[in-house]
């Protein structure tokens, strides 16, 4: 989950081996070799569409995901491609309007809301978090008070990631338990900083829990209420919600699965209390909504120009693929040249990625298997996004 899927995947293996998990479902049969296409506009069929269909088929027929979905749009048209199944028991196909847990793509929404508060002069990006959340990070090392709002959003705070210390087998043993963000932050801050604030980059979900707490403190409303008021309602997002403690996914959705070990049967983990992700990874959305959000964000609808520039001011992550991280938004080179903007996401049962280009082309890809899925699956999802954006 949330850039931490390998650890959770390994713990799922441990949990099954030690009897911490309930019923294990049968493995999915081989997916259909043909991706189903559901156009919502006049889409021209060309070689890039065939490549995208082939990538989705590979995800379900070779890489092991039960189902896959890609929603692609530009300024004039939209298409939805699906492959495989939403449910390995009923063999129901993946619904074109599927909702799913978007994991770390939540960070794009969280950062947008913080930057809206910056634009309203209610938050200073370079002020310490201590100003808005007194005492929360004060005692963390010698420099807890120096951690700024910007650093929490850009993963340059040096704050440890709570997912390093949350025992994944506890999540698997009791997936419906409520996890308070203050408790998760305290869990992380009981450990030393990974570096001095602002001197390095390391992905940390803890910073986004703090960002969610900041939103609530400054506005006096819950994160879910602010998400609804600031993003969902203005953009008319029909499939996006912040479920709080509700383990159900509203609307049509694929079952979410994990594979506890190599060649092991798939485990249905659709019902999870999303407070384990919170403002770092707890949103439910759809391909259509994520693409609409990205279009509005990069098109300047959600943020004033100054705040959008700050969001897109990146620093290298040290990855070999050229990724750079802004404030809740990544940039990555396209194979044929140019950049795209977006984020990836993991949550129990789902793996996702989304991206958009400056000319308005957007793509969101989802599979209903994760975490602990293979590197091939992650690579296939990214390849599908990049193929769709390069068309």
350 vs 359: CA distance, rounded Å? 29
Q: Active site residue: 104, 285, 373, 378, which one?
A: 104
Is residue 98 part of the annotated active site? The answer reads: no
Strands 350-356 and 339-347 turn out to be antiparallel
Print the SS3 string covering 95-144.
Answer: CCCCEEECHHHHHHHHHHHHHHHHHCCCCCCCCEHHHCCCCCCCCCCCCH
Q: What is the biggest distance separating any 2 CA atoms in the chain, rounded to whole angstroms?
A: 59
CB-count burial class (<10 Å; 0-12, 13-18, 19+) for 252: middle
Interacting residues of 151 by C-beta distance below 8 A, sequence separation 6+: 157, 158, 197, 198, 207
298 vs 309: CA distance, rounded Å? 10
Q: Are 81 and 36 in contact (CB under 8 A)?
A: yes
ω into 135 cis (within 30 of 0): no
112 vs 237: CA distance, rounded Å? 15
Q: Where does 250-298 show beta strands of DSSP type E? A: 257-258, 267-268, 284-286
345 vs 43: CA distance, rounded Å? 28
Task: Please name every residue paired with 347 in a beta bridge, in sequence order, or none if there are none.
Answer: 350
Q: Which residues are catalytic?
A: 104
């Amino acid at each position: 989950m949330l850039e931490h899927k390998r650890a959770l995947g390994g713990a799922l293996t441990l949990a099954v081996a030690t009897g911490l998990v309930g019923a294990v479902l049968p493995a999915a049969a081989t997916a259909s070799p043909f991706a189903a296409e559901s156009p919502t506009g006049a889409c021209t069929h060309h070689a890039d569409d065939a490549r995208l269909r082939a990538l989705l088929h590979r995800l379900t027929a070779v890489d092991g995901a039960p189902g896959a979905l890609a929603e692609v749009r530009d300024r004039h048209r939209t298409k939805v491609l699906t492959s495989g199944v939403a449910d390995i028991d009923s063999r129901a196909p993946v619904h074109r309007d599927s909702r799913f847990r978007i994991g770390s793509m939540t960070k794009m929404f969280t950062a947008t809301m913080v930057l809206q508060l910056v634009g309203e002069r209610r938050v200073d990006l370079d002020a310490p978090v201590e100003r808005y959340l007194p005492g929360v990070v004060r005692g963390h090392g010698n420099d807890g008070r120096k951690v700024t709002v910007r650093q929490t959003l850009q993963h340059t705070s040096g704050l440890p990631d709570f997912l390093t210390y949350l025992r994944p087998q506890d999540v698997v043993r009791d997936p419906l338990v409520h996890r308070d963000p203050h408790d998760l932050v305290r869990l992380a801050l009981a450990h030393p900083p990974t570096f001095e604030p602002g001197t390095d980059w390391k992905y940390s979900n803890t910073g986004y829990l703090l960002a969610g707490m900041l939103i609530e403190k400054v506005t006096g409303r819950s994160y879910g209420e602010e998400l609804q008021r600031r993003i969902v309602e203005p953009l008319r997002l029909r499939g996006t919600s912040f479920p709080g403690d509700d383990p159900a996914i509203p609307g049509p959705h694929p079952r979410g699965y994990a594979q506890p070990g190599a060649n092991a049967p798939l485990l249905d983990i659709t019902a999870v209390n999303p407070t384990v992700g919170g403002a770092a990874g707890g949103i439910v959305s759809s391909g259509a909504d994520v693409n609409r959000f990205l279009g509005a964000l990069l098109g300047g609808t959600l943020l004033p120009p100054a705040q959008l520039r700050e969001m897109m001011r990146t620093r290298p992550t040290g990855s070999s693929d050229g990724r750079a991280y802004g404030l809740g938004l990544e940039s990555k080179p396209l194979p044929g040249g140019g950049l795209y903007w977006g984020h990836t996401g993991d949550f129990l049962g789902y793996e996702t990625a989304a991206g958009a280009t400056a000319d308005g082309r957007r793509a969101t890809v989802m599979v209903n298997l994760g975490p602990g899925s293979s590197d091939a699956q992650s690579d296939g999802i990214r390849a599908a996004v990049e193929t769709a954006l390069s068309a």
